[in-house]
Amino acid sequence: MAQNKMDKIFLHGMKADTLIGVYDWERERMQTLILDLDIGVPKTSALSDNIEDTVHYGDVCEAVRRSMKEQQFLLLEALAEHIAELVFEDFNALWIRVRITKPGILPNVREVGVEIERSRSDEDD
């Protein structure tokens, strides 16, 4: 994925609550995760100066947070895939990188997490 040659918007350090984890003690209450999203947008969005020609990052933030409160996952990988699909379906993104951090879950480890990258061409695989 040639992200460095494409236009993108990003949301970094976005906090969102969800019920996630494979252990019973993880599923007793919602956890706050930290998300970094990089979303490919058409280069025409920079030329038109029209919000309708781009991905509205405020709407993405609301949709992702709402979905994370409604959905439950065991694995961060499954949640990351869900977020990628949501952004593709609802916001017509060209590509996405989703990084999810679960801070403070392991002793003496600042954070654990997962990162995935998807593009529209991946949907054909």
Closest CA to 9 of 38, 35, 48: 38
- For the 23-42+51-119 domain, the top CATH level (class) is alpha beta
Catalytic residue among 5, 8, 43, 102: 102
Q: How far is CA 115 from CA 43, 47, 68, 76, in A?
A: 25, 30, 17, 9
Question: 106 is written with which tokens?
Answer: 């392991």
Per-residue model confidence (pLDDT) at position 48: 81
Q: Packing angle between helix 76-91 and helix 57-70, nearest 10 degrees?
A: 140
d(CA 60, CA 101): 18
pLDDT of residue 124: 53
Each domain of the chain, given as residue ranges in start order, spans 23-42+51-119
Average pLDDT over residues 25-53: 88
pLDDT category of residue 123 using cuts at 50, 70 and 90: low
Question: Has 5 been annotated as catalytic?
Answer: no
Take residue 58 and report the two structure tokens written for it.
Answer: 């405020």
Quick one: pLDDT band at residue 3, thresholds 50, 70, 90? Answer: very low
Rounded to two decimals, the pTM is: 0.88
Task: Give the pLDDT band of residue 31 (cuts 50, 70, 90).
Answer: very high
Higher local confidence (pLDDT), 7 or 49: 7
User: How far is Cα 23 from Cα 113, in angstroms, rounded to an integer?
Assistant: 16
**For the segment 84-112, what is each residue's pLDDT rounded down to a tens digit?**
999 999 998 999 999 999 998 888 998 89
Q: Determine phi and psi for 17, rounding to 5 degrees.
A: -100, 140
